[in-house]
Structure 1
Amino acid sequence: MDKAHNINKVYALILILLGLFGFIMRYMELGDMQYTALIPAVFGLILFAFTRGIKNENAVIGHLAGVFTIVLVVMSSVMITKGLVAEFSLGRKQIIFLIVIAGGIYSLRSQFLYFRAQRRRKAKLK
């Protein structure tokens, strides 16, 4: 399963599940609808839509997936440092941010390696 499109698909599904989990848990605990908890789910839906383009080796979609993943990892890094400094604890939100960051880094790594191998393969054909 070391193909970039498979890793992207799994990461997108993890993001969707984490976003829904955060939204549902917030609603069950406090009774309010915190729509910002759905941000990972929205990113997951976008990345899931990019999976077919990555599988077909579409460079534009692959680069867009990389940019969206970088934005999500940076955004999660900022939010986790904000939460750790303010609360000095590792709560549910911080764990979700850590999962998003770790998955994003792994996804980016696989995308970079995949596209580098793709460029080498195309260079050999010329």
Structure 2
Amino acid sequence: MITLPDPATWVLSIYATCGGLLICCLETQLKFLRVIIAMNFGFLFSSLWRFVFYLILGTVTWAYGNIFGKAVGIIFGVVGLFNIYVLCRYPSYRKMREKIAEEEDKRIEARISREVKKKAVQSAFGS
């Protein structure tokens, strides 16, 4: 018989999902997402606090109690350690990543601008 998990597990699952999505959005390096994340979750731009966040997510997944939760918890811990190592050991990496993100933002903004102009011309001339 299939049973539903208890409410605490649901809450932890929602928290872990939101945390994972937050990390994914941060790593996309899109300007509009970075600004929102920086305004609301600025601690993720500090290597120490990002490490703490990874550890919290790791303990949340560890709390599921199954082998998958424990594996993901260990992975979060390893990723957190690797992340803090890279950001502290190679500060030029952060600068390079920001430069690449700025170039990508410019390309995206140029494409959006072209699309907006195209739509404006189409709506103005009714074609």
Q: TM-score category by the smaller chain?
A: 0.3 to 0.5
- TM-score, length basis structure 1: 0.41
If the length of structure 2 is used for normalisation, what is the TM-score? Answer: 0.41
